[in-house]
Amino acid sequence: MPKIKVDPISRIEGHLNIECRIESVPELKGEYFVKECKAAVTMFRGFEVFLIGRDPRDALLFTPRVCGVCPNPHSIASAMALDDAFGAIPPPAAILIRNIEEAAYYIYDHMIHFYLLIGPELAVLMGPEYGAPILPPVLGREGIAKGIGSHYVKCIEMQRRANEVVALWGGKFPHVTNYYPGGVLVQPTPERIAQSLANLVPVWEFVALTMIEDVKKLLYANERLKEVTETVLGVRVGLENIGECNGNFLSFGMLPRVEDYESDWLDTSKRNNSVFKAGAWFNGARHPLDENRITEDAKYSFYDVPDGLHPWDGRTVPMPNKPGAYAWTKAPRYDGKVFEVGPLARMLNTFGAKWKIPRIHPITGDDYGVFEYEVRNPKGSVLDRVVARAANALICANMVFEFLRELAKLYSEGKTQNINDKPIPKEAKGRGLWEAPRGALSHWIKIKDYKISHYQLVVPGTWNWSPRDSKGNPGPGETAIQCGTTWIPRLTVPEIANALYPGWGDLVAKALTTLNMKYSGLNLEKTERGEIVNATIPLLIVRSFDPCLACGVHIISPENKTYTFKLN
C-alpha cells in the first residue's frame, strides 16, 4: 500500500504530521483513498514540571502560555481550578467579566479559523463567485479591490477589534493577566462597558452578516461539489461525507449564568442552564457528564504509565523509544470510549441536531433572520464542524451583549465586587472544566504546603489527536481521516478547482504562482513509489478540527530529572 506523509502542517497550532497509507479503490474508478492514518505530535515542552512547587496562583499566568491561540480558556480553566481549591466562589460581576472576556475571545478564534486557517481550502471549493472574498489577499490591494481576499482582510481587522475587548478587561491579548482565584482583578467601570459595546457592534455585524452568509454560501457550493464528485468518482461526496468520526461528542459546557452559578454550574453533572451545556452525546442523545469517567491511556504514547488513569492520579513519565508507541499525546477516553470534542460537540449537547440562532442587531434591533441548520452527518464531518464553529461564534457574539448589559445593571446597583478573596489553602485540590474553542478542557490541581504538588491538563488537542488507546481504537482525528471517504486525487489543486468551476483553477493558479511558481505544486506529496498525489482532503479534515497541539503534550517528571531522547 503506498504511503504519504505530510510534515509539517501549516495553518494549525503546533507541530503535527500525518502519515497515511492509501489504496486504490476499484469501485471508485481506481482512485486512491486513505486506508489508515497515524497522526503524531512532534513538539513537547514539559509544562507540568515547572509548575510543581510554585505558588498556586502562578498557574494563572503559566497555563495560558501552554497555547497562544487559546490562552483565555486556559486562564479561566486554571482560575476555576483555583476557585475550587481555594473554596472561593466568584461574585456575580466577576462571573460576567470572565464571560465577556471569553465570549469576545471566542469570536476572534472562530473567525480566524474560518477565514485564515481553513478558509483557503474552502475558498477553492466555493468557486469564483463565493470563494474569492475568502481567499488570502495574494494579489494585494488591487486584488482586494476586485474582491479577492476582501473578507479575509476584513476578518483580520475584526478579530483585532474583538481582541481589543479582551485586552480592555484582561490587559493584553494573547495572555491576559486579570484572572485571580475567586474572581478577576479588573473592576467593572462604565468606560470599559461602553468601550466594549462600541467595539463589538461591527464585530457582531461581521459575524452575523458576513461570516454566517459565507457559511450559507459554503452549503450551497457543497451541492456543486457533490455533482462534480459524481462525475469524477461515480458517487456523490460532499463535505458532509468527509471526516466522519464515531458519533460520540463530549462537552464540558461554558459561559455560566450568574443566577444559578452555584446550583447549576459548579455541579458539572448539571450545567443545564449555561449558554453551552455540559454533556456526553452518544446514541444520538445527551447524557449528563460524569467527570469520574475521564481517563487517559498511554499504550501507544511515549510514556511509562498504566492505562486508564483519572487526571487526579495522572502521571506522565516519559519513555522514549517505547515499543509500539508513536505519539507524544496520551489517549483520553470518556467511559473508555473515543469521544470527539469541539464546537460540534458543544452544539449537539446544547441544542441537539437542529439549531436556530437569532440574528437580531444588538443595538438597532433589526432582525436579519434566524440562522438555521440541521446537522448533516450525525457522526460529524468537515462541513458540520465548520458550520458549528460559525454558529458558536454567532452565539458568543449575541451573548456578549447580554453579559455587558447585565454587568451595566450590576454596576448601577453598586454590585461591583470583583473578587471573593481567600487565602492560599495549605492542602487542597480543585479542578476547572471549561470549553476551549477546540473542545473540552480541564485543569486538575493539587496543593500541598501552599504550593502546587500536582497539575494535570487534559486538553482538546489530546482528545482529538490522541493516538490509539489500550483497545487499539484510533483517536477522533485519525478515525476521521481513515473513515473511508478521504479521497487522494491525482489532480493538482488548480485542476480540482477547474473541474468544479471552469476557469476558476486558472485564476487560483495565477494568484498562487504570482507569489512563487512552486505554488503550482500546493499540497502535492510523493508516495514512496514516486507517484504524485494531492493531500488536500486529509489536510482539510485535520484543519476542520482546528487543532491546537502545543497544549497536547506535557510531561511530568517526579524527580525533576532531565530526559533526553529522540522522536521516532
Residue 217 and residue 224 in contact, taking contact as beta carbons nearer than 8 Å: no
Choose which of 9, 305, 496, 533 interacts with other proteins (CB under 8 A): 9
Cα–Cα distance, 100 to 277 (Å, whole number):
17
Residues 31-50 that bind other proteins (CB under 8 A): 42-46, 49-50
182 binds other proteins per the rule CB under 8 A: yes
Give 292 or 514: the residue with its C-beta nearer to other proteins. Answer: 514
Give 496 or 522: the residue with its C-beta nearer to other proteins. Answer: 522
**Axis-axis angle for helices 382-412, 92-112 (nearest 10):** 150
Give 420 or 470: the residue with its C-beta nearer to other proteins. Answer: 420
DSSP 8-state class, residue 425: P
Give 3 or 236: the residue with its C-beta nearer to other proteins. Answer: 3
Kind of pairing between the strands at 524-526 and 451-458: unpaired
What's 231-269 look like in SS3?
Answer: HHHCCCCCHHHCCCCCCCEEEEEECCCCCCHHHHHCCCC
Choose which of 539, 540, 541, 546 interacts with other proteins (CB under 8 A): 539
DSSP 8-state class, residue 175: S
147 binds other proteins per the rule CB under 8 A: no
Q: Could you tell me which residues come within 8 angstroms of residue 565 by beta carbon, excluding any fewer than 6 positions away?
A: 302, 318, 320, 321
C-alpha separations of 85 from 427, 428, 429, 491 in Å: 9, 5, 5, 56
CB of 491 to other proteins, least distance (A): 16
CB of 557 to other proteins, least distance (A): 6
510 binds other proteins per the rule CB under 8 A: no
Grid-cell match 508507541, residue found: 325
Please tell me the count of residues contacting other proteins according to CB under 8 A: 101
Give 18 or 388: the residue with its C-beta nearer to other proteins. Answer: 18
Where does residue 439 fall: left (phi above 0), alpha (psi -120 to 50 degrees), or beta otherwise? left
Give 49 or 280: the residue with its C-beta nearer to other proteins. Answer: 49
CB of 452 to other proteins, least distance (A): 11
Please give the backbone phi and psi of residue 292, each rounded to the nearest 5 degrees, phi first.
Answer: -75, -15
Choose which of 21, 24, 28, 52 interacts with other proteins (CB under 8 A): 52
CB of 525 to other proteins, least distance (A): 5
Choose which of 169, 300, 339, 403 interacts with other proteins (CB under 8 A): 169
140 binds other proteins per the rule CB under 8 A: yes
418 binds other proteins per the rule CB under 8 A: yes
Residues 419-438 that bind other proteins (CB under 8 A): 419-421
Q: Could you tell me which residues come within 8 angstroms of residue 139 by beta carbon, excluding any fewer than 6 positions away?
A: 146, 148, 149, 511, 514
Choose which of 111, 168, 393, 533 interacts with other proteins (CB under 8 A): 168
167 binds other proteins per the rule CB under 8 A: yes
Cα–Cα distance, 541 to 459 (Å, whole number):
19
Residue 468 and residue 442 in contact, taking contact as beta carbons nearer than 8 Å: no
470 binds other proteins per the rule CB under 8 A: no
Residue 379 and residue 359 in contact, taking contact as beta carbons nearer than 8 Å: no
Considering only the stretches 62-70, 75-83, 217-225, 495-503, report the one whose residues sit in contact with other proteins under the rule CB under 8 A. Answer: 62-70
Residues 67-126 that bind other proteins (CB under 8 A): 67-69, 71, 112, 116, 120
558 binds other proteins per the rule CB under 8 A: no
Choose which of 73, 92, 133, 170 interacts with other proteins (CB under 8 A): 170
Give 90 or 279: the residue with its C-beta nearer to other proteins. Answer: 90
285 binds other proteins per the rule CB under 8 A: no
CB of 168 to other proteins, least distance (A): 5
Give 408 or 567: the residue with its C-beta nearer to other proteins. Answer: 567
Q: Shortest CA distance to 458 belongs to which of 324, 301, 333, 325?
A: 333
CB atoms within 10 A of CB 257: 18
C-alpha cell, 467: 493516538
